[in-house]
A = this chain, B = another copy of it.
């Protein structure tokens, strides 16, 4: 009994892992159930013992994906000393987000990549979790601005979209061969804070 439920949980897990990997690479619609089954080491029909439909698998993958990002960012922030600057907090959060996406990331990448093309009902249900994550960034930015580490004139909504856009777009171009994820995230964080203009250059 404990044996059966353990076996079931393992198969379910393998199916989810396989789906996340496939969704990340080819997208939800283009991925076939037979493909997921093959990666998971079983036949297409067997999937239906664990899931009611392909959409149900998608929902599970999306949920795990966003949760992994939230957990990674939260854990990284929790590991910082109380007195850490807001700049350090934001840099840490950016690195954690990017790492979750690129290195430990079939689920997280599948989430970010497929979000724009998932069926409407699934999207609606998933939106709540997404908003919670956005709220985390809103708070980080608000606190940094309140503490005077971000310019008071900065539009925090656009800054958040600017920042997350840069990070999320990396799934389109990142290849493990190049610079490390940490180095890239650090460079991006410096761009975000200091800008790329020559120091002392006047604004136009």
Contacts and interface: CB of A to CB of B under 8 A. Distances in A.
Given A193-B197, A197-B194, A161 B151 contact: no
Interface residues of A, number: 49
Contacts of A188: 158, 162
B113 A113 contact: no
A25 B173 CA distance: 22
Nearest to A195: B195
Interface string A157-197: 01101101111111111000001000010011011111111
Contacts of A168: 165, 169, 172
Specify which of A162, A171, A194 lies most central, judged by the most chain B CB atoms within 10 Å of its CB.
A162
A199 B148 CA distance: 10
A8 to B, nearest CB: 31
B204 A196 contact: no
Given A85-B204, A149-B197, A195-B192, A158 B172 contact: no
Nearest to A201: B149
Contacts of A123: none
Interface string A33-73: 00000000000000000000000000000000000000000
A150 to B, nearest CB: 5
B191 A194 contact: no
Q: Which 7 A-B pairs have the closest CB atoms?
A: A165-B169, A195-B195, A193-B197, A194-B195, A29-B30, A27-B117, A29-B29
28 contacts: A27-B117, A30-B117, A88-B204, A113-B116, A148-B201, A149-B201, A150-B197, A150-B198, A152-B198, A154-B191, A154-B196, A155-B187, A158-B179, A158-B184, A158-B188, A159-B196, A161-B170, A161-B173, A162-B166, A165-B165, A165-B166, A165-B167, A165-B169, A192-B195, A193-B196, A193-B197, A194-B195, A194-B197
